[in-house]
Amino acid sequence: MVVFGATGVTGRRVAAYLAERAAETGARWAAAGRDTAKVQRVLGEAGVSGAEALAADVNDPASLLEMAARTRVVLNLVGPYTLYGWPVIEACVAQGAHYADLTGEIPFVRRVIGAFDARAAQAQVKLVQVCGFECLPPDLAVLLAAETARERWGEGLASVDLEVSMRTPPGLPRFSDTISGGTLQSLVAVMGGEDPSVATDPAALITDPVAAAEVRRVSPISVAPRRGPQNAVIAPMAPAAFINPPVIQRTMALTAAEAGTRPEPFRYREGMLLAGASATLPLRYGAAAALAGMQAGFAALARAQPSLRRRFAEALGTILPGSGFGPAADRLEHWSWRMSVQARTAAGHELTVEVAAEGHPGYLATARMLGEAGLLLAEPGLTPNRSGCLTPAAALGTGSLERFRKAQMRFSVSA
C-alpha cells in the first residue's frame, strides 16, 4: 500500500497504523508526499520509523503514475479532493491500483462515478470513496442490518435510525480538537464547486433516475433537532448531515443491482445523541439548534447564485484555518463513540446493530479504519468480487467486519 499525503493531520496517523499492522502482518507499505524530506521528518516526529518515502505531487501526473504502478492500493489523504483528487484516481485506474480516500465531498464523488465507474470496472479496480468516519461505520452497519433482516425474515428494510454518541476526553475541547483545516477547506471547496446543490441530495450517488426519485421521496435529509429517548436531544450529524445518506443509499442500490432486483426504498435518518441531565436540556437544544442552523445555512447557500457562492467560499477559505491545523497527537486518544442502528422491516420486525469504537472519530479512528480497509483491499480474495466506483460497504462487505476489531471498532447485532 501507499499512503499518499502522509504528512497531513490524518495521513500521518494512517502511516502510524500501517507501520504497526505491517509489523504483525508482513504487509509492505510506503509513505508518499510532494516533499520526501518532509515525509521522513513528519513520520519521525509521529514515531514512525523505517518507512520508504516516495515523491508524488498531484500537479505532476508522471509522479502519480509511478506511485500507482508500484502498489496494489493507494490510500489518498490529499484533500480537498474536489481540487486534488481527480489525477490520483486517473493514475490508479490507468495502473490497475485500488484506491480509497476520505472525501465527504459528495459532488466530487458523483463526478467520479460518472467518469470512472465503467473504466474502473473494466480494469477491475476498486475505487472506494468516503472511507472514514463518514461513511465506513454507518454504511457497514446498515448493510449488516439489511443482510440480517433478509436472512431472518426474508424482508428488506423499511426504516433505519442511526444515532451516534461520543465520550470526549476530560476538559473543554478546543476548536482544533474537533475539526482539521483539511476538513474545513474541503467544506469550502464543495461550497465553491460547480454543483454544490448535489451536496444536499440523498440520491446524489444513484445513477438510475427512477430509483433516485424514490429515495428523494422516501428519505429526504432533515437537519432539524429532535427529542431522543430519556431526555436526549438528537442533533444533526457533524461536520455535515449530507454525507452518509447518499453513500448508504448507493450501497443499497449497488447490492440490489447485483442481485438483479430494484432497490427497496427505505427511510434513513441519523443524528448525534446529546444526552444529559434534564436541567441541561435547554443548553443541549441550543447546541443542536446551532449545528442545525449552520447546516441549513450551508444548504441554502448551496442553492444560491454561483457568483455569490464563490465569493462567499473564497472569503471563508481565507478566514478558516488551512492544512496543518487539527487535533494534536495527545488529543486523539481518550475518545470513545458508539453508533446504534435501529432497523425495522415493513412487517414490523426490528433489530439493532451497534458499533463501538475507540479514538477520535475523525482523525484517529478514521485513520485506523482507512488503514485496515487498505490492508483488506491489498489482499486478494478478502473482499467481495466487485469493482468500479464502490461505497465502503460494497467494497469491503460484511465479511470484513471482524477485521475492524484490529482498528478498535466492533460491530454487533441484537434482535
Ligand X SMILES: NC(=O)c1ccc[n+]([C@@H]2O[C@H](COP(=O)([O-])OP(=O)(O)OC[C@H]3O[C@@H](n4cnc5c(N)ncnc54)[C@H](OP(=O)(O)O)[C@@H]3O)[C@@H](O)[C@H]2O)c1
Query: Do residues 171 and 65 touch, judged by C-beta distance below 8 A?
Result: no
The residue (of 280 and 323) whose beta carbon lies closer to ligand X is 323
One residue of 366, 383, 391, 398 binding ligand X per CB under 6 A: 366
Binding span for ligand X by CB under 6 A among 79-87, 92-100, 197-205, 225-233: 79-87
Binding span for ligand X by CB under 6 A among 30-38, 208-216, 219-227, 253-261: 30-38
Which residues ranging from 318 to 337 are in contact with ligand X (CB under 6 A)? 323-324, 326
Instruction: Give, for 211, the enclosing helix (H) or strand (E).
Output: helix 209-218
Q: If binding is defined by CB under 6 A, does position 11 make contact with ligand X?
A: yes
Q: If binding is defined by CB under 6 A, does position 38 make contact with ligand X?
A: yes
Q: If binding is defined by CB under 6 A, does position 182 make contact with ligand X?
A: yes
- Alpha-carbon gap, residue 280 to 285, rounded angstroms: 9
Query: Do residues 169 and 331 touch, judged by C-beta distance below 8 A?
Result: yes
**Which residue, among 305, 309, 388, has the nearest Cα to 99 in the 3D structure?**
388
Output the CA angle 395-267-127, nearest 5 degrees. 15
Query: Do residues 241 and 251 touch, judged by C-beta distance below 8 A?
Result: no
**Which residue, among 149, 183, 189, has the nearest Cα to 342 in the 3D structure?**
149
Q: If binding is defined by CB under 6 A, does position 392 make contact with ligand X?
A: no
Output the CA angle 69-72-77, nearest 5 degrees. 90
Whole-Å CA distances, 394 to 129, 151, 164, 254: 11, 18, 22, 7
The residue (of 12 and 284) whose beta carbon lies closer to ligand X is 12
| Binding letters toward ligand X, positions 220-239, x by CB under 6 A | --------------------
One residue of 180, 219, 295, 391 binding ligand X per CB under 6 A: 180
One residue of 89, 127, 134, 232 binding ligand X per CB under 6 A: 134
For strand 409-414 and strand 350-358, is the pairing parallel, antiparallel, or unpaired? antiparallel
One residue of 16, 17, 29, 80 binding ligand X per CB under 6 A: 80
- 401's grid cell: 467486519
One residue of 43, 53, 97, 104 binding ligand X per CB under 6 A: 104
- Alpha-carbon gap, residue 302 to 121, rounded angstroms: 32
The residue (of 35 and 333) whose beta carbon lies closer to ligand X is 35
The residue (of 77 and 302) whose beta carbon lies closer to ligand X is 77
Binding site for ligand X (CB under 6 A): 5, 7-11, 33-35, 38, 57-59, 77-81, 84, 102-104, 132-134, 180-183, 186, 323-324, 326, 362-363, 366
